[in-house]
Structure 1
């Protein structure tokens, strides 16, 4: 059923109650929903256009585009030095669905990078996510024929977020532990795993020996 309501137009004509970016963004979201219900394109709806223009007036940052772009570049550089997975390990993700989903996404990516660093062929390992209960981070597990590596975060695991063990003929060996920071350096961590667990690191494009010149 298609229907329209006047509220977004009234709000666009008098946006004085929208004094923050958050409030304005919420109003725009509701206006988009109204457009969808009315079968109206939000790209041309006058109320939506006015509300989006209002966003610029409530922002406290009035720097020009180049200054803002430079600030974004600086922030990206900072985040590269301080990865999201490390930040989540520090703050925890318990009872935070969005943060927990991000942990599982980034944890899976980190395990895949470790598998590559170990030289594991894609068909020889699996990476599994176990969500756990809402009050837990759950865990991400890299499992191969001769090694298992698991990452989980939270106060109980601080400094020992990564557990790893050798697997010999189906028998699990005792767990050893490492910090989340170690996992974020996959090549160095792969060397450590091979050294401590007596594994033979398979050759990958990154670590193949350089052929001698003829």
Structure 2
């Protein structure tokens, strides 16, 4: 036995109340749900098709494709220049799985950039991500032969998201005393790496040998 309602067909015949992308999209989603409940094919349902065309009509006058594509590329460039990690750290990610996933993805990227700024050898460090439970942020940890750096949202609040210390190998999980920094420091990896090298008295990176030209 199937279950169907007439409401989506009525909306499709008179969509005048659907004046925004949000309301039109909601109507489409509701229509798709009705189709599935009734065992109807969503791809050929007349109401779904008409509602989808109405959504296209609503968005048709927003801007032309070239301008929209340019805006998308601009947004991508801005997000790469100013990653969401700082915002996520300040607003928190507890009980928000999507935000927590983004926090850990960007945290791992930031740790890789810090490892490069510290001139750590490839394979000479680990980056671990522990998401832990839904009520906490979890941690992203960079662990090298001499340095340990961890990003997490602790109870100490803003500007205390980073803990770093000197260690003696990757099996050393205690190390020397902890020092703290802000997530803003992590987003400036070159200056933060210089600070870490100085404060922890790390072994200077080996300079690359000069190339000889014939």
Structure 1 counterpart of 2:67: 67
Alpha-carbon offset, residue 182 of structure 1: 1.9
Q: Check conservation: 1:161, 1:180, Cα contact below 8 A.
A: yes
Alpha-carbon offset, residue 154 of structure 1: 6.4
**What TM-score, normalized to structure 2?**
0.76
Is 2:179 aligned against 1:176?
yes
Equivalent pairs counted in the alignment come to 209
Specify every segment of 5 or more residues in structure 1 that has no aligned partner in the other structure, as ranges: none
Distance change in 2, residues 1:58/1:210 (3 Å) = farther
CA distance in 1, matches of 2:210, 2:157: 40
Task: Kindly report which structure 2 residues correspond to 1:40-79, keeping only aligned pairs within 5 A, or say none.
Answer: 40=41, 42=43, 44-59=44-59, 62-79=62-79
Q: Check conservation: 1:162, 1:179, Cα contact below 8 A.
A: yes
Structure 1 counterpart of 2:211: 211
Structure 1 counterpart of 2:188: 185
Specify every segment of 5 or more residues in structure 2 that has no aligned partner in the other structure, as ranges: none
Q: Deviations over 1:156-189 (max 9, x none)?
A: 3312221110112635111112221221233333
CA distance in 2, matches of 1:85, 1:46: 44
Distance change in 2, residues 1:191/1:18 (3 Å) = same
* Secondary structure at 1:129 match in 2: strand
Q: Which moved more, 1:181-190 or 1:83-92?
A: 181-190
CA distance in 1, matches of 2:13, 2:109: 47
CA distance in 1, matches of 2:105, 2:3: 39
CA RMSD of the aligned region, Å? 3.3
CA distance in 1, matches of 2:12, 2:205: 63
CA distance in 1, matches of 2:45, 2:123: 52
Alpha-carbon offset, residue 152 of structure 1: 1.6
Q: Which moved more, 1:158-167 or 1:92-101?
A: 92-101
Q: Check conservation: 1:89, 1:154, Cα contact below 8 A.
A: no
* Secondary structure at 2:167 match in 1: strand
